[in-house]
Chains A and B, each alone.
Chain A
Amino acid sequence: MHLHQRRGLSRARLWGVGVLAASALALSGCAAASGTPSASNSAPLKIGISLSLTGDFSSSGKAAQRGYQLWADVANKSGGVLGRKVELDIVDDASSPDQVVTNYTNLITQTKVDIVFGPFSSLLTVPASRVASRYGYSFIEPAGGGPSVFDQKLNNLFFVQPAESTRGGDVFANYILSLPADQRPKTAAYAKLDDPFSAPIADSIQKRFEAAGIKTVYNQTYPSETADMTPIVAGIAAAKPDVVVGGTQEGDAFAQIKAMIQLKFNPKWLYEANGSNSPGDFPAAVSSANTEGVFGSIDWYADSTVSGSAKFISDYIAKFGGDANQIDPTSAEAYSAGMLLQEVATKTGKVDNATIIKTLHSGSWPTLVGTLSWDATGKPKGEYLLVQWVNGKLQTVYPAKTAQTSPVAPKPNWAG
C-alpha cells in the first residue's frame, strides 16, 4: 500500500538497464519438490523483473527488490522451484514507462527469462503487463492495483494484494457502518489527493457513507504538488465534521495531520489511506505523541499471524538487518508473488506460463498478505485490514477476527 507517487515521477526517464544478478545457492531439496525434482528440466529458473531502483518510486522499488531476493534465497535453500535453482534478473526502469516497455521486451526476447514478475506502481504495470500478455507470459504483480490495470481485462495478470488498491479504505467504512446507528458519525469531510491510488480510496468510502446517511460537509481534491495543507484543513475545521477521511499518500497525510494539530482541530474519527499505516515514518513525522487514535489500512504488518509471516520476518532480519517494524509491506507483497509461483509449481508439478495462468484462476492461495483469489481480470477478491494507533503502537482493530485490540473512539486529543 505504500505507493509513492509524486509529480515529476517520470523525471528519471533514463533508459535504465542496470542489471543486478541475484546470486543464489542451490542446495539439495526438501519440501514438496524434493521427491520428484522434475527430471525433464534442471536448468535454472530465470525470473525477470523490472523495478524502479532509481527515480520517484525508488524507495518502494528497492523494498520490492528485497522481497523478491529474500524469496529467491529461501526458495533456493530448500531446493529451488521443482529442483530448479531460481535466478532473478532484476533491471532498473528508473520509474519511466518507456523503460518499462523496453525492459520487459528485453527480458522476454533477449534474456529469454522463463517467468516475469511485476514492476512497481499501477502506472508502470499497465504498459508492462501488455508486453507480457503479448508474449503469452503470466504476470504476477505485487504493486499495480489501480482500475486502469484491471480495465485492460488481461487474463495473464494476478495482483498480489487483498483487494484492488482503490478499495483499500472499504474496511474503514465496514467498521464505521458496523457501529450502532446512534454511535455513528453524522457528518464527514473528505480531502483527496488527485492520484490513481489515493482519491479513489476516499471516493469509495464516501459512496458507502453517503448511502448510509452520513452527510458530506466538506469534499476537496488537491493536486499532488500541494505542499501546504493548512487551507484545506482550515476548511475542514470550519465544517466541523465528526469523521475526516484522507485519500492520501504519505507526505500529504503527514501535512494534513500537522495542519490539524496547528489549527487545534480534532475529529472524532480520522482515517488516512496511506502514511498513518507506516510504523516508522508516521511517528517520526508528526511526533509519536500525536499518533494516538489515527486509523489507516494495511495488508501485511509485523505482528501478522498469517502462516509464514514469522519466518519471513526472521529471514528478512537475518539478511537485511533492522527490526520487524521497519519492513515495508511492499517487501512482503513481492515475497508473496514468489510464494504463489512456488505453490503453483508444487500443486501442478510444472512451472510454465500457461499452467500458472490456468491454475491461479481457480482456488485460493495462501500468501503473507492473506489468502488470495482473483476474478477474470486479475482483481483480488479479499479486503484489507483496519489499523489504528493504540497506546503508541500500530495495531489491527478490524475485522474483529484478526484484530489485536478493539478500536478506540472518539479519538483522543492531539498532544500538541
Chain B
Amino acid sequence: MHALIQAIILGILTGGVYALMASGQTLIFGIMKVVNLAQGAFVVLAAYLTYTLFVQFGVDPFASVLITTPLMFLVGMGLQWALLRPLHSDDVAQLSLLVTFALELGVEGILSFTYSTTLTNIQPSYANFSWTVFGFQVSLVRFFAFVLSLVVLAVLYLVLKRTKFGRAVRATVQNPMSAQLLGVNAQRVSALGFGLGAATAASAGSVFGMLNAFNPGSHYDLISRLLTVVVLGGLGSIGGSVVAALVMGVASSVVSAEASPIWSDFTFFIVLLLVLLLRPRGLFGARTRGAL
C-alpha cells in the first residue's frame, strides 16, 4: 500500500511535466493541424541549453527557464516561417508530419555534433534533496518541476482566455475559415502558436534535464510518450492532454512499482489502442474540430 501511494505521488509529479510538453504539442495541432514530431527534440534541445547555461555560466536550471523559454519561442516561430509555411496546400498533413520529423533528426544531428552522445544530466547542489511527508518521499526537484509546470500551464491558459491573440487562436482552432473571414491573420496565429508550443517544450526541457539522464537521442522516448498522451487526450484539447498526461504518469509509475517496469509503457500503448477502438477521437476529443 505504501509503495502504491508512493508510486501515485511520483506519477502525478512526473505527469505534470509531461502535461506541459504535451500541451504545447496539442496546441500546435489545434491551430495548424500539424502533428509536431519535433516536440521531443525541442525538449532535449532546451535541456542542453539549460545544461550549458548551468555548467558554463552557473545559471540555476529553474531560473534558466526565463532564458530558454523566450529563446525557444523565437526559434519555433522562425522554424514555422522557414519550413512549414512554404508547404504546398495539398497533402499538408502528411508533408508537415515528415517535415517535423526531418526537423527532429536535424536537431539530433546538431546536438550530437555539438555535445557527445554520452548521457548527461544537470546536477544543481539541491538535486538529491527530498522531503519526507507522512512517510512518503517527495523530491525537491520533482516538486518544483511540478509547480513550474502548473505555473506555465496557468500562464498559457490566461494567454488563451484573456488576450486578443488567445481569442484569435480559439477562433482558428474552431473554424479556420470563418476566423480568417473575421480578420484573423492565420499565418501570424500559426507562427505564434508554433512558437508557444516550442516555448512549453523549453520550460519542460529545463526540468527534464534535472529529472533524467539524457542524450541527443532521448527525443525518441519522449515523442513516443507525448504522441500517446496527445492522442489519448484528443488531438487539439489542452485540458484533455493534461488529464491524459497525469493518467499516463500515474499508470506507468504504478505498473512499474506493482508489476514490472518492462511493461509500464506497454500498458499505456494498449490503453491507447483500446481507447481508439471505442472512441477514435480520443478520450476528450470533441465533436467539433478540436477544443481548447
Direct contact of A and B (CB under 8 A): yes
B133 to chain A, nearest CB (A): 13
A217 to chain B, nearest CB (A): 13
Q: How many residue pairs between the two chains, A and B, have CB atoms under 8 Å in the bound complex?
A: 113
In contact, B117 and A230 (Cβ under 8 angstroms) = no
Q: Contact flags (1/0) for A148-172 with B, using CB distance below 8 Å?
A: 0000000000000000000000000
CA distance A279 to B215 in the complex (A): 20
Instruction: List CB contacts (< 8 Å) of B103-141 with chain A.
Output: 112, 116-119, 121, 123, 127-130, 132, 137, 139
Known: A58-B117, A254-B213, A287-B123. A225 touches B221 (CB 8 A): yes
Instruction: List CB contacts (< 8 Å) of B191-233 with chain A.
Output: 211-215, 217-218, 220-221
In contact, A221 and B213 (Cβ under 8 angstroms) = no
- Contact among B117, B130, B213 for A227, CB-based, below 8 A: B213
A247 to chain B, nearest CB (A): 13
* Contact partners of B218 in chain A: CB under 8 A: 227
Known: A222-B256, A264-B130. A232 touches B261 (CB 8 A): yes
In contact, A261 and B119 (Cβ under 8 angstroms) = no
In contact, A258 and B128 (Cβ under 8 angstroms) = yes
CA distance A56 to B116 in the complex (A): 10
Instruction: List CB contacts (< 8 Å) of B240-283 with chain A.
Output: 253, 256-257, 260-262, 264-265
Instruction: List CB contacts (< 8 Å) of B55-106 with chain A.
Output: none
In contact, B220 and A11 (Cβ under 8 angstroms) = yes
A387 to chain B, nearest CB (A): 20
Q: Contact flags (1/0) for A210-233 with B, using CB distance below 8 Å?
A: 000000000011110111101110
CA distance A250 to B214 in the complex (A): 11
Tell me if A277 counts as interface (CB < 8 A to partner B).
no
In contact, A234 and B260 (Cβ under 8 angstroms) = no
In contact, B121 and A285 (Cβ under 8 angstroms) = yes
How many chain B residues touch the partner (CB < 8 A)? Answer: 37
* Contact partners of A287 in chain B: CB under 8 A: 123, 128
Segment at the interface with B among A1-9, A126-134, A370-378: A1-9
A166 to chain B, nearest CB (A): 19
B123, B218, B256, most chain A CB atoms within 10 A:
B256
How many chain A residues touch the partner (CB < 8 A)? Answer: 43
CA distance A58 to B112 in the complex (A): 10
B101 to chain A, nearest CB (A): 12
A279 to chain B, nearest CB (A): 15
Known: A194-B262, A230-B10, A287-B123. A7 touches B137 (CB 8 A): no
Tell me if B172 counts as interface (CB < 8 A to partner A).
no
Known: A231-B256, A251-B119. A222 touches B262 (CB 8 A): yes
In contact, B220 and A223 (Cβ under 8 angstroms) = no
Tell me if A55 counts as interface (CB < 8 A to partner B).
yes
Known: A221-B260, A234-B7. A4 touches B118 (CB 8 A): yes
- Contact among A228, A261, A264 for B14, CB-based, below 8 A: A228
Known: A232-B256, A234-B6. A6 touches B128 (CB 8 A): no
CA distance A58 to B132 in the complex (A): 41
Can you name the residue of chain A whose Cβ is closest to the Cβ of B11? A231
- Contact among B14, B121, B137 for A254, CB-based, below 8 A: B121
In contact, B118 and A59 (Cβ under 8 angstroms) = yes
Selected A-B contacts with CB under 8 Å, 15 pairs: A11-B220, A59-B117, A220-B260, A226-B264, A227-B221, A231-B10, A235-B3, A251-B213, A252-B213, A254-B119, A254-B121, A263-B130, A264-B132, A284-B123, A414-B128
Q: What are the 3 tightest A-B residue pairs by CB atom distance, in nearest-first order?
A: A222-B261, A251-B119, A227-B212
